[in-house]
Structure 1
Amino acid sequence: MARRPIIMIHGYSDQGKSFHTWVDRLSQLGYDATRIHVCSYETLTNEVTIADIAEGFDRALRERIGLNGDEEFDAIVHSTGMLVIRSWLTVFARRQKRLKHLIGLAPASFGSPLAHKGRSWLGGIFKGRKQFGPDFLEAGDLVLDGLELGSRFTWDLAHKDLLGEAPFYGADKDTPYVFTFCGTQAYGGIKKLINEPGTDGTVRWAGCALNTRKIVMDLTKFREDQERIAITGWSNVDIPLIPVDGADHGSILQNPSAELVSLVHAALSVESGPELALWYEEAARKTETVKERLAPWQQFVIRVTDERGDAITDYYIQLEGKRSGGSIEEIQQFDVDVHPYSSDPSLRNFHVDLSVIEPDTLESLSLRLIASSGSPLVAYHGFDDESGDELQVYDVEGTWHAVIDLSGLLTDAQVKFFYPFTTTLVELRLNREPLPLVGPNKVCWFDKD
């Protein structure tokens, strides 16, 4: 069987030549090097977005390597390259049938904790453009904005390809077969200064795989409304993280192990749903002990809006729970590592080590929310699970307190709140109303005759 062309897409602040080792390894396995095409793109300029790169990628496919509009190909992407290819895929449905295999090497599927650092002046010194000119020390602000944890770009992209009703990445030939790998080791040497736990030095284990679900807590609805808390199922086929022992974000590209190359070679040979399932069974068997050594991190990306869809930026969230023989307590580990998206703080990323939370020991779980309008004229409010009178649980400054019971997500066999090595999206919706909530309000009135 003739092999399809392979497209390789690098990450932020990198070049196509970084794939040199992978081209050599695949050539040694019998792949035709003339059918392996390495893509380069511009990131270190402040005017280009990830969506722009995706459009440029589409034109380059046609004009540079001559792939026509329906010719099939495979892709191996590193880091930001995953966002580029996903952005390209979501523009036209027919593109799903063109891309047959998608191999993610340390993919930044939900961004990177380094992105917001790169936007600082220090980031420009170490990662920015070094050539003197009008764009000297540009670090690619718009690309980094999309790469920032909790960004609106990754939030919207997930709704297009990970949370739709129909599978975007399924087990049949009409959608790509997807495989995600990430190293288990952070950087050594001077680069260790930027390391964070639960990462390969640049991307998070919990933010690589495309296993994502969303929980909507619509507090504008009454407690009795069954759609008040809605949870999406897995719309795509299971796409778990495959850990690569001893690799970091750079070495997975520049010095891949023989086992990783073998797994990728086998992945590129998958041509059916049963073969996909067998590949994942074999990969899980080979990496079982490696994954067991990893701390089970999970990401939550939370967004709070009002009933109009407008952002609520001033809020506080904490989980509370009760363990056997104890009383209700704050689960402090939940908000130890929180990153508000700088362009819109209604979006926040929570990185949680589940081995510290120990969710299996929890008998109850609730989410405490405090939202403030910052004004005595208007307030946010809704229907929570604790207050007896929703119209009275705000203070004179328009700050509202609420508790939402999530205990059912601890015992449900099909849907769980805690799920390691995944990213869970949570959207909370509140009402925004003039104060006071009953009687004449302070925002609008009729003058007396």
Structure 2
Amino acid sequence: MHNPIVILHGWSDNSSSFKALGNFLQESFGNAVQPLYLADWLSMHDAISYADLADAMQQAWLALGLPTAPQSVDIVVHSTGALVTRQWFTRYYSASTNPVKRFVQLAPANFGSPLAHKGRSFYGRAVKGWNQPGFQTGAAILTGLELAADYTRKLAQQDLFANEAWYGAGKMLATVLIGDTGYSGISAIANEAGSDGTVRLCGANLNCSYLRLALDQQQQILPETWHWQRSQGAIAFSVLAKENHSSIIFKGRKVPHNPLTQVVIRQALTVTDQDFQTDLSQNFGWQQQLDALNPPENVQAEQRSQVLCRLTDQHGVGVNDYFLEMYRTAGADSRFEETLYRHFLRHVHTYSQDPASRAFYFDLAVLDRLKQDPKFQQLYLSFSAQPHFKPPRQPVGFTNVPANAAAGLVLPSTELARVFKPQQTLLLDVQLQRVVADSVFKLSRA
């Protein structure tokens, strides 16, 4: 007998969008899928938070008598439903007691959406249609959905970088699926390269990395502060051709655009622990099966990655005004740097609630072309932060790296793929040294 299946919708949606998918699962598994639950949660009320939703989900779960034994339920989520579910199980359960066995994520907004900060006017026109004079947008939910949001960063620390692995054989068997195509018609104004119209592919993928480091006054790395970590556990990921953010859940349709979508969803709900056993290279059977069913070369989406950077001083205070410097050699290299800034770095978003947190979006096809230049031996990443320390006129602030010096994070060309990994996210925490001149505070003998 198959585990009960719970289906959760995303922002501005409801369970009716999953009727076609629910019918497909019933037809696929018959009585084995009984019971199947369609969840409804309030996503458009401005005051409702993810914490509220986690509490409400647990209340509804217990009231309905759903199983709470470890690995006793399968969950299918769409978009923001992934964040709601992750908030719920990390709050009420541990990696060992989690009731979720198979976690199928359809176009999940695990690291936010580039649409979340667009505002009510944009949503009213692009998403809700012509006849939408104004509405609540679920302000607290959208704030957590914004690129570089503190919420998604903290949530990743709770499950992806926790001391105990939540994902993989013997734990939760997660499969992340997303389309490679944007919207058509008026909704196409929401499209962005490397996304499904709403969510970036790299922002959906739960496979990610975390890097923490501190720089001294000359922006040289303090070795004892370097901390690198890959997300824990085996998590399957696949990009489905011709699907967008809506079609992947068959919304408004009896079937998705790509027949393979049904095949993959069905199989993702039947995988076993054995399918997630990893070898020394971190390969595992279910990912290999996905790649065989859906070869990555068949996908049309551009290869992108994002770095979610938070910059603070040595006291943990956010640095609100800074610029990311990128260069391959010290001194003038203007043509190469122009390519870095105009073509490699495609977009920067500053988090509205904390300017110290920013999302940098990179085009990896450009990086691949640049790497063919034999002069490209390394890439330097440093920071120009305000205020500039120049006493006595400016007695506090941050020292600048001179134009003829090289500093910051030094990435050999052979290591670039570790930071800029295709369709993945890097969480980056950097500490700068804020300098205070002696003139700021003086003591003299009376």
Q: Secondary structure at the match of 1:336?
A: strand
Q: Secondary structure at the match of 1:52?
A: helix
1:310 counterpart = 2:338? no
Which residue is equivalent to 1:338? Answer: 348
Q: Is the 8 A contact 2:78 2:249 kept in 1?
A: yes
Q: CA deviation at 1:334?
A: 4.2
1:297 counterpart = 2:304? yes
Measure, in 1, the Cα distance between the counterparts of 2:334 and 2:345. Answer: 20
Q: Deviations over 1:194-223 (max 9, x none)?
A: 211111110011111111111222114995
Which residue is equivalent to 1:393? Answer: none
What is the Cα-based RMSD across aligned positions, in Å?
Answer: 3.0
Which residue is equivalent to 2:116? Answer: 115
- Counterpart of 1:208 (choices 193, 198, 204) is 204
Measure, in 2, the Cα distance between the counterparts of 1:369 and 1:65. Answer: 53
Which residue is equivalent to 2:272? Answer: 271
Q: Deviations over 1:241-283 (max 9, x none)?
A: 3111111100111233432222122222122134663221111
Which residue is equivalent to 1:396? Answer: none
Q: TM-score, normalised by structure 2?
A: 0.85
1:25 counterpart = 2:17? no
1:195–1:71: structure 2 CA closer, same or farther, 3 Å change rule? closer
Counterpart amino acid of residue 385 in structure 2: A
Which residue is equivalent to 1:139? Answer: 137
- Counterpart of 2:147 (choices 146, 149, 153) is 149
Measure, in 1, the Cα distance between the counterparts of 2:418 and 2:116. Answer: 30
- Counterpart of 1:422 (choices 421, 424, 430) is 424
Q: Secondary structure at the match of 2:58?
A: helix
Q: CA deviation at 1:105?
A: 0.5
Measure, in 1, the Cα distance between the counterparts of 2:276 and 2:388. Answer: 56
1:131–1:53: structure 2 CA closer, same or farther, 3 Å change rule? farther
Q: Deviations over 1:146-172 (max 9, x none)?
A: 0001101011111111123432212x2
Which residue is equivalent to 1:391? Answer: none
Instruction: Map residues 245-264 of structure 1 onto 2, 5 A cutoff.
Output: 245-254=241-250, 255-256=255-256, 257-264=258-265
Counterpart amino acid of residue 209 in structure 1: N
1:15 counterpart = 2:14? yes
Q: Is the 8 A contact 1:218 1:430 kept in 2?
A: yes
Q: Is the 8 A contact 2:173 2:276 kept in 1?
A: no
Q: Which 5+ residue runs of structure 1 have no aligned equivalent? A: 389-401
Q: Is the 8 A contact 1:220 1:431 kept in 2?
A: yes
Measure, in 2, the Cα distance between the counterparts of 1:195 and 1:131. Answer: 22
Q: CA deviation at 1:431?
A: 2.0
Which residue is equivalent to 1:360? Answer: 371
Q: Is the 8 A contact 2:106 2:176 kept in 1?
A: yes
Which residue is equivalent to 2:280? Answer: none
- Counterpart of 1:411 (choices 403, 408, 414) is 414
Measure, in 2, the Cα distance between the counterparts of 1:129 and 1:50. Answer: 26
Measure, in 2, the Cα distance between the counterparts of 1:224 and 1:30. Answer: 55
Counterpart amino acid of residue 149 in structure 1: L
1:429–1:225: structure 2 CA closer, same or farther, 3 Å change rule? closer
Larger deviation, residues 417-426 vs 66-75: 66-75
Measure, in 1, the Cα distance between the counterparts of 2:312 and 2:63. Answer: 43
Counterpart amino acid of residue 314 in structure 2: E
1:181 counterpart = 2:168? no
Q: Is the 8 A contact 1:314 1:372 kept in 2?
A: yes
Q: Is the 8 A contact 2:8 2:81 kept in 1?
A: yes
Q: CA deviation at 1:13?
A: 0.2
Counterpart amino acid of residue 368 in structure 1: S
1:38 counterpart = 2:38? yes
Counterpart amino acid of residue 72 in structure 1: S
Measure, in 2, the Cα distance between the counterparts of 1:165 and 1:416. Answer: 22
Q: Is the 8 A contact 2:220 2:407 kept in 1?
A: no
Counterpart amino acid of residue 97 in structure 1: N
Counterpart amino acid of residue 434 in structure 2: R
1:263–1:219: structure 2 CA closer, same or farther, 3 Å change rule? same
1:369 counterpart = 2:383? yes
1:380 counterpart = 2:395? no
Measure, in 2, the Cα distance between the counterparts of 1:420 and 1:10. Answer: 27
Measure, in 2, the Cα distance between the counterparts of 1:405 and 1:84. Answer: 35
Measure, in 2, the Cα distance between the counterparts of 1:364 and 1:233. Answer: 22
Q: Is the 8 A contact 1:44 1:128 kept in 2?
A: no
Q: CA deviation at 1:411?
A: 2.2
Q: CA deviation at 1:381?
A: 4.9
Larger deviation, residues 95-104 vs 417-426: 95-104
Q: Is the 8 A contact 2:106 2:177 kept in 1?
A: yes
Q: Secondary structure at the match of 2:187?
A: helix
- Counterpart of 2:294 (choices 287, 302, 306) is 287
Counterpart amino acid of residue 189 in structure 1: G
Measure, in 2, the Cα distance between the counterparts of 1:112 and 1:351. Answer: 12
Q: CA deviation at 1:74?
A: 0.3
Q: CA deviation at 1:327?
A: 8.5
Measure, in 2, the Cα distance between the counterparts of 1:430 and 1:209. Answer: 29
Larger deviation, residues 153-162 vs 220-229: 220-229
Q: CA deviation at 1:230?
A: 2.6
Larger deviation, residues 157-166 vs 373-382: 373-382
Which residue is equivalent to 1:445? Answer: 442
Counterpart amino acid of residue 223 in structure 2: Q
Counterpart amino acid of residue 403 in structure 1: A
Q: Is the 8 A contact 1:150 1:349 kept in 2?
A: yes
Q: Deviations over 1:379-400 (max 9, x none)?
A: 1359x79988xxxxxxxxxxxx
Q: Which 5+ residue runs of structure 2 have no aligned equivalent? A: 278-283
Which residue is equivalent to 1:398? Answer: none
Which residue is equivalent to 2:58? Answer: 58
